[in-house]
Amino acid sequence: MAWGTRIRSAARAALLHFGLSLLVACAVAWLVFRVWYPAPFHELTGGRSLFLILMVVDVVCGPVLTLVLYDPAKSRFKWRVDLALIVLTQLGALAYGLNQVAGARPVFVAFEGDRFRVVQALDVDATRLQDAPEGLRSLGFGGPRVLGVRLAQPSDADYLQSVQLSLQGLHPSFRPSRWRSFEEQMPAVQQALRPIADLRGKHPDRRAELDAILAKLGLSDDQAGYLPLVREETTDWVALVSRADGQPRAYLHFDGW
């Protein structure tokens, strides 16, 4: 009977702990999915998977520890010590997980000649940020920003070195010294845009979907263009861009190559 009473009391305490943990998880979800990884970047960069792992570990571990350790026969002092240890363990797991999620957050959508590239915080050497132009020396925590990138030209002294770095996976978009304001490269973006008709031709079975997206954006085929959007091995996305100002207006899961 005493054992059954203990289990029921522990279950109620664990349920309460689970509810509080769930509230914290909702607040963290807002930060992750509305600020750091706005749609569709949580899908593009794997942020959703990172968050789910974090939440499963953090939301489950606290209530489980409460279920195991709670005993109404314990003195108030002993239970407070147990609770403090549980909360500290949970907060430690949350802090570690959030640090991992923040470290992988997308910080830029960079125009790179014939494409846009998603740049994550982990792609950038923070010690090189001072090489960036004024105003671009911080990665920020407010979600991805559009960015221009100066590509190396054959006449540049470091042209071969730049090509070698790119072949090694250190793309120009990852190097702060190559960053430029998006406004500076807007004419190049507008010139590089591919016609929407090409995208329709590549995906004839999704024309209605594309029509609906353009209508929602208030753009006609003549007012919009697209460029492939890439992130390492992920290459089957496009950035839908307004020709008037060169600004990406939507990111779509269409293969644009």
84-138 pLDDT, tens per residue?
A: 888 888 888 888 888 888 999 999 999 999 999 999 999 999 999 999 999 899 9
Do 157 and 218 lie in a common domain? no
**pLDDT at residue 1 is higher than 70:** no
Between CA 57 and CA 46 the distance in angstroms is 17
Give the tokens for residue 91.
């907060």
Q: Which residues pair with 225 in a beta bridge?
A: 195, 241
> Does 247 lie in the same domain as 229?
yes
Q: Look at residues 175, 39, 25 and name the one whose alpha carbon lies nearest to residue 94.
A: 25
Domain boundary among 147, 169, 191: 191
The domain tally of the chain equals: 3
Q: Are residues 124 and 147 in the same domain?
A: yes
Residues 75 and 116 in one domain: no
Of 44, 79, 103, which residue is a domain's last? 103
Same domain, residue pair 13 and 97 = yes
Summarised one tens digit per residue, pLDDT across range 196-218 is: 999 999 999 999 999 999 999 99
Q: 214 and 247, same structural domain?
A: yes
Q: CA-CA distance, 212 to 39, in Å (whole number)?
A: 18
**Which range is least confidently modeled, 24-28, 110-114, 163-167, 181-185?**
163-167
Same domain, 97 and 18: yes
pTM: 0.85
Q: Which of 84, 103, 122 is the last residue of a domain?
A: 103
Closest listed residue to residue 252, CA positions, set 200, 192, 191: 200
What pLDDT, in 10s, does the model give residues 28-77? 889 999 999 998 998 888 778 878 877 777 788 888 888 888 888 888 88
**Which residue range(s) make up the domain with 125?**
106-191
In whole angstroms, what is the distance from residue 19 CA to residue 11 CA?
Answer: 12
Same domain, 65 and 115: no
CA distance 146 to 204: 29
Considering the domain architecture, whether residues 94 and 115 belong to the same structural domain is answered as no
99 with 111, same domain?
A: no
Tell me, yes or no, whether 45 and 86 share the same domain.
yes
pLDDT range class, residue 159, cuts 50, 70, 90: confident
Domain check: are 84 and 29 in the same one? yes
